[in-house]
Structures are given as structure tokens and as C-alpha cells.
């Protein structure tokens, strides 16, 4: 089975989305695709999250769709049934990790401290979410937290408090697989039908990813 984290690494940035109305799912998917970012993390913060994932998967199969904010085993099961290709959580929970493993869902638990990261090493975790990345101290904090664990080869998806202006700072870290951000598809833009802005945000984010990666190969 294809590992979705490979595609996520290639794209470099994950639009983190809270969608209030499942009817907006397809226009949103089209906006992301037009922006060259065929990826979405639909957070389980709204009642329509599972339906939105299912619609995107059924009608826009070229979009890689995952589920975020999976806080319990039931949510993991619902996300998997809806067609989510991967899952993320803001924290680390043994029951959630077990449910993801049972469902065969590639999953990134959340960590913020060395204790969290130490706990994650007891599970078959290769990718972890660093949350809330901005409040936790930025790229320097992640580097410091990870230093004692560097020999394990883990990768991270920093999320929370990141903007277009700070995206490049995170992407320059080799340990960062990709960056999650809500600025690409803001809930207010989705509600107001401002999908052209979402397309512009997606294009701008992809351009930053490309610039950073081209610079790193020079």
C-alpha cells in the first residue's frame, strides 16, 4: 500500500481545514487542486468533517485527503470508513495509536516535549506532529527537543501558529517532513465562498516549498 507520507513530503505543506458545511468540500478541493496542492487534512472539529472527507475521496480521487484532530478510537474508525488516507492528532494517546494500527491507517501523533517524544518511541511511529509549533518555541525548540532522539530517524509535521511568513524557516530543517497550516484554507474563506483566495494561498505555499528545496540543493 502506498505510504501517503511520501506524497506529503513531496508537497511539503498540508492545508489544515475545519469545514462547517460538507457542501463546500468539492469547491474547496477544486481550489486546492487549481493551486497545485492536491492535499487536505480535514480536522474532526466540525460535525461535517467525515462527510466532507467522503465527498472529496469519491468525487476528487486525485486529492490526497486525511483526517486531523483524531482524539479517540471512534474518530479513527469513522475517519477510516470515510476514506481518510492518513490521520493526525494534536497529542499522543495509546488507544488512538492502537486504533490507527488496527485500521491500517498511517498516523502521526502529536508531541510537544521530550517526554511526549520518548513515549512515541514505544510505538511504530515514524512521523510525529509537532504541536503547537509556534507556542512551543519555533524551529529551534524542535531541534532541541529532537536532539537526544536524532539516531531514531523520526520526521515531523510542525503545525500551529505557522504562517506563510514562517513556512520557509520550518522547511529548512531536514527533520521536517512537511508543515501543516490553516492559513491556506481559512474557515472564513470557505464559508464566504472565497475559493480564489484559497487557490492563491496554495500557489504561494507551493512556491515557497520549491524555493527552499531548490536553495538546499545549491
Burial category of 176 from C-beta neighbours within 10 Å (exposed 0-12, middle 13-18, buried 19 and up): buried
End-to-end CA distance of the chain: 34
How is residue 200 written as a grid cell?
492563491
Contact between 33 and 64 (Cβ < 8 Å): no
Determine the distance from the C-alpha atom of residue 70 to the mean position of all C-alpha atoms in its chain, rounded to a whole number.
12
Contact between 69 and 89 (Cβ < 8 Å): yes
HSE (side-chain half, CA atoms, 13 Å) at 170: 32
**C-alpha angle 157/162/168, rounded to 5°?**
80
Kindly report the number of other CB atoms within 10 A of residue 41's CB atom.
Answer: 28
Catalytic positions:
41, 129
How is residue 33 written as a grid cell?
487542486
Q: Left if phi > 0, otherwise alpha if psi is -120 to 50, otherwise beta: which for 197?
A: alpha
Amino acid at each position: 500500500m502506498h505510504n501517503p507520507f511520501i506524497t506529503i513530503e513531496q508537497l511539503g505543506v498540508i492545508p489544515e481545514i475545519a469545514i462547517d458545511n460538507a457542501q463546500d468540500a468539492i469547491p474547496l478541493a477544486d481550489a486546492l487542486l487549481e493551486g497545485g496542492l492536491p492535499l487536505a487534512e480535514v480536522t474532526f472539529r466540525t460535525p461535517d468533517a467525515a462527510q466532507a472527507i467522503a465527498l472529496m475521496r469519491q468525487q476528487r480521487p486525485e486529492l490526497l485527503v486525511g483526517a486531523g484532530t483524531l482524539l479517540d478510537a471512534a474518530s479513527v474508525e469513522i475517519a477510516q470508513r470515510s476514506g481518510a488516507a492518513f490521520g493526525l492528532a494534536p497529542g499522543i494517546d495509546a488507544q488512538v495509536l492502537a486504533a490507527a494500527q488496527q485500521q491500517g491507517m498511517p498516523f502521526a501523533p502529536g508531541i510537544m516535549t521530550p517526554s511526549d517524544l520518548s513515549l512515541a518511541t514505544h510505538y511504530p511511529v515514524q512521523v510525529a506532529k509537532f504541536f503547537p509549533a509556534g507556542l512551543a518555541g519555533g524551529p529551534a525548540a524542535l531541534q532541541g527537543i529532537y536532539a537526544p532522539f536524532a539516531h531514531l530517524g523520526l520526521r515531523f509535521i510542525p503545525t500551529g501558529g505557522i504562517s506563510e511568513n514562517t513556512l520557509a524557516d520550518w522547511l529548512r530543517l531536514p527533520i521536517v517532513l512537511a508543515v501543516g497550516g490553516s492559513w491556506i484554507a481559512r474557515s472564513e474563506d470557505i464559508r464566504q465562498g472565497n475559493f480564489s483566495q484559497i487557490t492563491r494561498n496554495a500557489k504561494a505555499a507551493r512556491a515557497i516549498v520549491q524555493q527552499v528545496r531548490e536553495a538546499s540543493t545549491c
